Amino acid sequence: MDSCFLIVVFVFAFSLSNGESTLKFVSVLYRHGDRSPTETYPNDPYKESDWPQGFGQLSKEGMKQHYELGQFLMERYKGFLSESYNQHEIFIRSTDLNRTLMSAQANLAGMFPPDRCEEFIPGLKWQPIPVHTVPEAMDCLLSFPLRDCPRYTQLMNETEKSDIFQNMTKNNREFLEMVRDKTGLDTASVDSVWFVYDALFCEKNHGKSLPDWVTPDVMEQLKVLKDFSYQIMFGVYAQKEKCRLQGGLLLNQIIQSLSAAADPHTKQQLKMMVYSAHDTTIVALQEALNVFNGLQPPFASCHLIELHQENGTFSVEMFYRNDSTVSEPYAESLPGCSQRCPLEEFKRLTRDVIPQDRNKECQIKKEASDAEDVKSKLVRILGRTRSKQVNEMSDCMQRCFSLPV
């Protein structure tokens, strides 16, 4: 045992003396796995009762996706993380929804299967590992877009008046009218038909027959509009300011974690911070980093931010895993910096999307007529279920942003 320890120490010291990079900290953000639709359209032949656990719930395929992602993460960070779960090394934070909490648990089952000594029931290759959350109405970190911000609502109003939005609406007017008639919706707009695509996509993936009007061309056009709704949420128009009011909050938290890990006087033992959240969370962060590819992040997609140390200097590397069929995630580069970006340069380049006083930046003169406009936008962009939940956030959000994140 002692000789093995000496060899490990020697190899570690040798790698540092030769200038090899040493991983110091990892931030992991992933989307939940495959699920049932969050809602559907009036004429859909499939209702909530047709899904085993109802709308918006993690499927067995989603559980499998995250179990495999957990195995990938453990393989990638073998030697950095302990093979056995260590509460001091990893912390998991989830939004307070079944599908994200269950995804995190399935992910951890893939990362840390217990060895024989850790099994509390012989043969059971699972152990309980804590996943932390806060009530959705108080979640200021992961539940994007945050709708407590009048200025953000104003920016979304202005986005709808922009040339690109108006042109997209004009070019798809006949298509949207067809979708409205076939689905039984009262209205159909370029930023609201995403949930029609989502319902059809989930139904097809789960072996359900689609209506005759849903041709491959219709699905492709719905996909284009769905992706556009993600692009305008935090970008296209006034991207930097939208990011300051949204994804910049999460980016700021991640930068604080990187800075703490790089502090030579730190006593921090934490090596990995994991966030289990949503497609909109990944988009919000990637727009703030200016690396969003314009496409909805797929189920179980994962954005990695790594802190490395080399010869006393720290650098940041980013990777995006949105395809489980490839062995390595795609490298991402912060615009204006190399793929291995010096930490201080990383902080400098992202400074403009970090809010200094979000409460103040969110305030505008709000006319009484704006209130109904906000509610209607919530329904169109988030859907009825999520918009109702977000509408209940206002009071808690005011308390949340008066405290450190």
279 labelled catalytic = yes
234 contacts 287 by C-beta, under 8 angstroms: yes
Residue 331 CB neighbour total at 10 angstroms: 11
Q: Residue 276, Cα to own-chain centre: how many angstroms?
A: 7
CB within 8 Å of 97: residues ≥ 6 apart? 32, 56, 136
Residue 211 per-residue DSSP state = P
Q: Out of 50, 279, 370, 373, pick the active-site residue.
A: 279
Compute the radius of gyration of the chain from its Cα atoms.
23
> What DSSP element (H or E) covers 347?
helix 343-349
Cα distance between residue 206 and residue 210, in whole Å = 11
CB within 8 Å of 332: residues ≥ 6 apart? 289, 291, 303, 318, 319, 320, 339
Q: Residue 332, Cα to own-chain centre: how many angstroms?
A: 16
Helices (H) and strands (E) in the chain, counts: 16, 7
Q: Residue 318, Cα to own-chain centre: how many angstroms?
A: 15
H-type helices in 139-246, by residue range? Answer: 150-160, 163-171, 173-183, 194-205, 216-234, 239-245
How far from 54 is each of 103, 195, 202, 297, 310, CA to CA, in Å?
Answer: 17, 16, 13, 23, 50
323 labelled catalytic = no
Residue bearing tokens 């699905």: 219
Q: Out of 32, 278, 303, 308, pick the active-site residue.
A: 32
How far from 245 is each of 145, 234, 291, 392, CA to CA, in Å?
Answer: 9, 9, 18, 19
Cα distance between residue 260 and residue 275, in whole Å = 18
> What DSSP element (H or E) covers 84?
none
Residue positions annotated with a catalytic role: 32, 279
